Chain A
Amino acid sequence: MILIWLLVILIVGGVGAWYAERRHPLWPRIIALLALGINFLLVATLWLSQGSPFAIAGQGAWLVELDWPWIAHFGIRFHLALDGLSLLLVLLGCFLGLMAVVASWTEIQYRVGFFHFNLLWVLTGVLGVFMALDLFLFFFFWEVMLVPMYFLIAIWGHERRLPAAFKFFIFTHSSGLMLLVAILVLVWTHYQHTGVLTFNYFDLLGASLDPNTAFWIALGFFIAFAVKLPAVPLHPWLPDAHTQASTGGSVILAGVLLKTGAYGLLRFVVPLFPATAFDYSPVIMLLGVIGILYGAVLAFAQQDVKRLIAYSSISHMGFVLLGVFAWNPVALQGAVMQMLAHGISVAALFMVAGALQERLHTRDMGRMGGLWSKAPRLAAISLFFAVAALGLPGLANFMGEFLVLLGAYQVNIAFTAAAALGLILSVVYALIMVQKTLHGEAEEQRRFADFSTGDMVAMGAMILILFWLGLYPQPVFDMAHPALEGLQQWVMEPSRQN
């Protein structure tokens, strides 16, 4: 039941926030905080209440499950479940939701209620994606999150928000349609073989496909997830969307939404089509490597702070792609860690960039500089997150990238070496950003407010998490381990047969 509550709280909270705007503009913010906070606590309690945390092996990794009939005619069920992997991502989603509310506390000034409505509904879709075990339901949530995100960009974004919002929607929706067709073909092929019409994940895992069909279906799945991730040739929507969205929108988009693509690859693409995934893994890993280098190089070339962070996202998510398709325990743990670390660090960077824009009314790094003297807190925090993003050992990003490289090394040495170059490039762009924004002389004299206590609390929480994940990541590994092991078992068995 807890699973349905997670969704209901957000849905009702969203409507409540919209309605409560009439009373006072503060109410929507408080309601959003409450809804996300309750969700966060619910999931955290679920995690901490596990007796011997995550010692369960294999398919017993599911902590809670909920399975209701929904559309009987097509064998579609309302099937949600949480395992360690989903739980981590749900926690991340709720946490970054809270951060997004904090980040928009002063930034969003009009239609506050509707903003928080959209924020909560995006997160509903995201949590649904992380929990759905019915392919139709998965697709349903996959599409549900698009419309509110579109509004978040199109209504509260920056100067060129409309084209950016369009691009985001067109890319994600058209790739989503391919996903739909792929799901339908998979379901129908399974139906023709077995006579059972079902969208259930577990039933479809065992579907026997001839390699040709499997290739096309897998391609449909892969494109949809690669657009969201984004993998390199499918990325053009991302820099615009990230740059133009308001801070809260960017936090959600980069921190949480991109993870749905990675999650889809982990949960669906490889387990459903192990043989195809194995055959094409060199190509996909190459895409990952290209993404790492391409994103880093372009990040280096940006003048706009948010664009820089957006391109760095492409680079970081390249590691996730590399890790997932290396498909060994170390690389997978690395990919999960990288997802969490990137979620936190990029969200924090966008919040910093948002704070800068709010104060300076520009995102152009050429017009920044000299922040150290004016806003020491803000500057110190920016430096911390920039360093985290470049992968300083001891912080979460390093842990993720290191494990991915370690895992990928066992599979393909050349790609690993090339990907490792990305680490150097990330140092370059992160330091350029620090150099241009923080150091040097200020261009003009401006009134400049430093971070408030509320901001510091949010930032402090994120700093702590990055330290925690970087220094003592074992709980996360323990939590993700059974889930990842379960996924791998599925892959091992059928791939042997093929």
Chain B
Amino acid sequence: MTDFIALLPWLTLTLGSLTLTLVVAFYRQHRLALVATMIPLLLCLMMIPIAAGVTPHQLPPLLIIDQYALFYTGLILVAALAVALLAYSYLQGLEDQPEEFYMLLLLATLGATILAASNHFISLFLGLEILSVSLFALLAYPRHLRPSLEAGVKYLILSGASSAVLLFGIALIYAELGTLEFGRLSALLNHGEISSNVFFLAGLAFIIGGLSFKLSWVPFHLWTPDVYQGAPAPVIAFLTTVSKGAVFALLLRFFIQVEGGNHPPLTVMFSLIALFSILVGNLLALLQNNIKRILAYSSIAHLGYLLVALVASGSLGVEAITFYWVVYFVTNLGAFGVVTVLSSPAQEKQNLEDYQGLFWRRPVLAGMFTFTLLSLAGIPLTAGFIGKFYIFTASVEAALWPLLLTLIIGSTLGLFYYLRIIIALYRLPTAEIERVYPSTLPLTGSLALALLALLLVWWGVYPGPLMQFIQTVAMTLL
């Protein structure tokens, strides 16, 4: 019975996606599909407090349902809701059936939530594949359009390769330690059951390599800008937040379970990845003129920032990561949300010129975009500032001076391209671009954006309660 209660969110989501499939099979109607997506997501959100009543609960051996897992699940669900709302108006411009999009969205969400709760290599792999396979289809959803098809195929191939690498790593660890459970790994390691570190560390390296593809850390980042550029904007909003967030949540749990801080080669590797991700991401973003590519590189840099907090480890590090993820979700959904609201499948607004003078035509939308960009840059009054403060604090506590210096350099470089977008928004527009925009903004999209902007300001000015909450969540992991 406890098993059942603990699994309620996952069951709801599974049932929801099945129902949606049936609904779509019998009666195709776009609005109905949206409603049939929202209901399970909302229901599932409501199940989280119920499931929280029985935490921590282990479902041996695959899943562990604790506050940490539920927290990330909640985050993922909210992001999925926002993406669904944003996608609704976007998909109306599609010359094809839009309903299956929501089905894939629900399935990908399910995969992501499994990742957040998984405590075993099998559930890791299952969750990851459910997520990735749905993502291939989502990325290529406007299948008549070459760019998105290309993005889908690119992601498919690289994702497949990374899965293979990941599996190899898992195999090496299994060969050495004979278990697939995260929890038992550290026990085995501590009892000296290990004959040599080499297999274990090589396995770890492969696993981290495989996951790094999904997180687009340098040097596994090459696919990122191309896929971001080609794919539909709402899907990218989903990929950059939900997919990366879930994989990172899993990685964090894994890192803490195997006591990663005690393996110097691991911390050195992470430090190097962080350093290069921050520098490469920010430097390459400087050269771009395409907003989606800029945001792609900026997401590489942001995952670098997060990795710094992971290296810092400790309770403050975990808190910093969790807080930063909340901020990252909100800011990225906001930024890609603006792109989505202005775009349609046939006409993705992604060149810097498309945004020239947006402020003079759509002050509110441009204001929100400015806010999300300032939050990405970590300027006060936005939640991004508090997130950056958290990461700085964690790295000061852990005395990671070289990484701190990299953070400072990275944030400064970041300013260049965020400010470039912002200033484009406020430039006086030229007459020709005037007519290209739709005359009214879609209701669902604006609603989602307004909520996101509100959260950004709220958490930027009064982050206390959220911090307290995150502290309790982080406690459960340690």
- In the complex, whether B457 has a CB less than 8 A from a CB of chain A is no
A169 touches B423 (CB 8 A): no
Return the CB mask of B404-447 against A: 1 if under 8 Å, else 0.
Answer: 10011001100110010001001000000000000000000000
- In the complex, whether B289 has a CB less than 8 A from a CB of chain A is no
A170 touches B426 (CB 8 A): no
**Taking beta carbons and an 8 Å cutoff, which residues of B are in contact with A?**
374, 379-381, 385, 389, 392-393, 396-397, 404, 407-408, 411-412, 415-416, 419, 423, 426, 462-464, 467-468, 471
Report the minimal beta-carbon distance from A115 to chain B, rounded to whole angstroms.
12
List 7 A-B pairs, minimum CB-CB distance, nearest first.
A174-B412, A184-B396, A73-B467, A143-B380, A177-B408, A71-B464, A144-B380
Asked, given contacts A143-B380, A184-B393, whether A155 binds B426 with beta carbons under 8 Å apart, the answer is yes
Asked, given contacts A73-B464, A170-B415, whether A181 binds B408 with beta carbons under 8 Å apart, the answer is yes
Interface residues of A in 32-86 (CB under 8 A from B): 69-74
**Residues of chain B contacted by A140 (CB below 8 angstroms):** 380, 385
A165 touches B396 (CB 8 A): no
**Residues of chain A contacted by B397 (CB below 8 angstroms):** 188
Q: How far is the CA of A154 from the CA of B426 in the complex (A)?
A: 9
- In the complex, whether A150 has a CB less than 8 A from a CB of chain B is yes
Interface residues of A in 176-211 (CB under 8 A from B): 177-178, 180-181, 184-185, 188
**Residues of chain B contacted by A70 (CB below 8 angstroms):** 462, 464
Q: List 23 A-B contacts (CB under 8 A).
A: A69-B464, A70-B462, A71-B463, A71-B464, A72-B464, A141-B380, A143-B385, A147-B374, A147-B379, A154-B426, A166-B416, A166-B419, A170-B412, A170-B415, A173-B379, A173-B411, A174-B415, A177-B392, A178-B408, A180-B392, A181-B404, A184-B392, A188-B397
Q: How far is the CA of A177 from the CA of B467 in the complex (A)?
A: 22
Report the minimal beta-carbon distance from B108 to chain A, rounded to whole angstroms.
34
B381 touches A177 (CB 8 A): no
**Residues of chain B contacted by A188 (CB below 8 angstroms):** 393, 396-397
Report the minimal beta-carbon distance from B282 to chain A, rounded to whole angstroms.
13
Q: How far is the CA of A169 from the CA of B418 in the complex (A)?
A: 12
B393 touches A74 (CB 8 A): yes
Q: How far is the CA of A178 from the CA of B416 in the complex (A)?
A: 18
**Residues of chain B contacted by A185 (CB below 8 angstroms):** 396
- In the complex, whether A27 has a CB less than 8 A from a CB of chain B is no
- 20 further contact pairs, Cβ within 8 A, besides A73-B464, A143-B385, A166-B419: A73-B471, A74-B467, A136-B389, A140-B380, A143-B379, A154-B426, A165-B419, A165-B423, A166-B416, A170-B412, A170-B415, A173-B379, A173-B411, A173-B412, A177-B392, A177-B412, A178-B408, A181-B396, A184-B392, A188-B397
**Residues of chain A contacted by B419 (CB below 8 angstroms):** 150, 165-166, 169
User: Do most interface residues of chain B lie in helix, strand or loop, or is the interface mixed?
Assistant: helix
Report the minimal beta-carbon distance from A328 to chain B, rounded to whole angstroms.
35
Interface residues of A in 134-150 (CB under 8 A from B): 136, 140-141, 143-144, 146-147, 150
Partner of A181, one of B379, B385, B392, B426: B392
A173 touches B415 (CB 8 A): yes
Q: How far is the CA of A170 from the CA of B415 in the complex (A)?
A: 7
Report the minimal beta-carbon distance from A168 to chain B, rounded to whole angstroms.
10
- Most interface-central of B389, B407, B426 (chain A CB within 10 A): B389
Report the minimal beta-carbon distance from A240 to chain B, rounded to whole angstroms.
15
Q: How far is the CA of A180 from the CA of B390 in the complex (A)?
A: 11
Q: How many residue pairs bridge A and B at CB < 8 Å?
A: 68
Report the minimal beta-carbon distance from A52 to chain B, rounded to whole angstroms.
39
B416 touches A170 (CB 8 A): yes
Report the minimal beta-carbon distance from B350 to chain A, rounded to whole angstroms.
22
**Residues of chain A contacted by B415 (CB below 8 angstroms):** 169-170, 173-174
**Residues of chain B contacted by A165 (CB below 8 angstroms):** 419, 423
Q: How far is the CA of A181 from the CA of B393 in the complex (A)?
A: 8
Asked, given contacts A147-B374, A147-B379, whether A73 binds B468 with beta carbons under 8 Å apart, the answer is yes
- In the complex, whether A151 has a CB less than 8 A from a CB of chain B is yes
**Residues of chain A contacted by B423 (CB below 8 angstroms):** 154, 162, 165
Partner of A180, one of B374, B389, B426: B389
B467 touches A71 (CB 8 A): yes
Interface residues of A in 66-109 (CB under 8 A from B): 69-74
**Residues of chain A contacted by B412 (CB below 8 angstroms):** 170, 173-174, 177
Q: How far is the CA of A141 from the CA of B389 in the complex (A)?
A: 14
Partner of A177, one of B411, B462, B471: B411
Report the minimal beta-carbon distance from B124 to chain A, rounded to whole angstroms.
32
**Residues of chain A contacted by B393 (CB below 8 angstroms):** 74, 184, 188
Q: How far is the CA of A151 from the CA of B379 in the complex (A)?
A: 14
**Residues of chain B contacted by A181 (CB below 8 angstroms):** 392, 396, 404, 408
**Residues of chain B contacted by A169 (CB below 8 angstroms):** 415, 419
Q: Which residue of A lies closest to B319 (CB)?
A: A73
Partner of A72, one of B385, B408, B411, B468: B468
Report the minimal beta-carbon distance from B150 to chain A, rounded to whole angstroms.
35
- Most interface-central of A69, A151, A173 (chain B CB within 10 A): A173
Q: Which residue of B lies closest to A121 (CB)?
A: B381
**Residues of chain A contacted by B381 (CB below 8 angstroms):** 144
Report the minimal beta-carbon distance from A35 to chain B, rounded to whole angstroms.
19
Q: Which residue of B lies closest to A166 (CB)?
A: B419
Q: How far is the CA of A74 from the CA of B468 in the complex (A)?
A: 10
Q: How far is the CA of A188 from the CA of B468 in the complex (A)?
A: 20
Q: How far is the CA of A3 from the CA of B353 in the complex (A)?
A: 44
Q: Which residue of B lies closest to A191 (CB)?
A: B397
Q: Which residue of A lies closest to B409 (CB)?
A: A174
Return the CB mask of A10-23 against B: 1 if under 8 Å, else 0.
Answer: 00000000000000
**Residues of chain A contacted by B426 (CB below 8 angstroms):** 151, 154-155
Report the minimal beta-carbon distance from A136 to chain B, rounded to whole angstroms.
8
Report the minimal beta-carbon distance from A76 to chain B, rounded to whole angstroms.
9
Report the minimal beta-carbon distance from A7 to chain B, rounded to whole angstroms.
12
Q: How far is the CA of A146 from the CA of B378 in the complex (A)?
A: 12
**Residues of chain B contacted by A71 (CB below 8 angstroms):** 463-464, 467
**Residues of chain B contacted by A147 (CB below 8 angstroms):** 374, 379
Report the minimal beta-carbon distance from A294 to chain B, rounded to whole angstroms.
25
Q: Which residue of B lies closest to A186 (CB)?
A: B396
Q: Which residue of B lies closest to A155 (CB)?
A: B426
Report the minimal beta-carbon distance from B136 to chain A, rounded to whole angstroms.
39
Q: How far is the CA of A180 from the CA of B395 in the complex (A)?
A: 12
Q: How far is the CA of A185 from the CA of B401 in the complex (A)?
A: 11
Q: How far is the CA of A195 from the CA of B63 in the complex (A)?
A: 38
Q: How far is the CA of A140 from the CA of B392 in the complex (A)?
A: 14
Q: Which residue of A lies closest to B377 (CB)?
A: A173
Interface residues of A in 325-362 (CB under 8 A from B): none
A146 touches B464 (CB 8 A): no
Asked, given contacts A181-B392, A185-B396, whether A146 binds B467 with beta carbons under 8 Å apart, the answer is no
Interface residues of A in 118-139 (CB under 8 A from B): 136
Q: How far is the CA of A74 from the CA of B463 in the complex (A)?
A: 11
Q: Which residue of B lies closest to A150 (CB)?
A: B419
Q: Which residue of B lies closest to A173 (CB)?
A: B415
Q: How far is the CA of A146 from the CA of B380 in the complex (A)?
A: 10
Q: Which residue of A lies closest to B385 (CB)?
A: A143
Q: How far is the CA of A140 from the CA of B411 in the complex (A)?
A: 16
**Residues of chain A contacted by B404 (CB below 8 angstroms):** 181
Report the minimal beta-carbon distance from A250 to chain B, rounded to whole angstroms.
19
**Residues of chain A contacted by B463 (CB below 8 angstroms):** 71
**Residues of chain B contacted by A150 (CB below 8 angstroms):** 419
- Most interface-central of A69, A151, A155, A177 (chain B CB within 10 A): A177
Report the minimal beta-carbon distance from B324 to chain A, rounded to whole angstroms.
15
Q: How far is the CA of A71 from the CA of B389 in the complex (A)?
A: 12
**Residues of chain A contacted by B468 (CB below 8 angstroms):** 72-73
**Residues of chain B contacted by A73 (CB below 8 angstroms):** 464, 467-468, 471
Q: Which residue of A lies closest to B381 (CB)?
A: A144
Report the minimal beta-carbon distance from A144 to chain B, rounded to whole angstroms.
5
Report the minimal beta-carbon distance from B371 to chain A, rounded to whole angstroms.
10
Report the minimal beta-carbon distance from A342 to chain B, rounded to whole angstroms.
27
Q: How far is the CA of A146 from the CA of B464 in the complex (A)?
A: 24
Q: How far is the CA of A136 from the CA of B284 in the complex (A)?
A: 32
Interface residues of A in 251-298 (CB under 8 A from B): none
Report the minimal beta-carbon distance from B474 to chain A, rounded to whole angstroms.
11
**Residues of chain A contacted by B411 (CB below 8 angstroms):** 173-174, 177
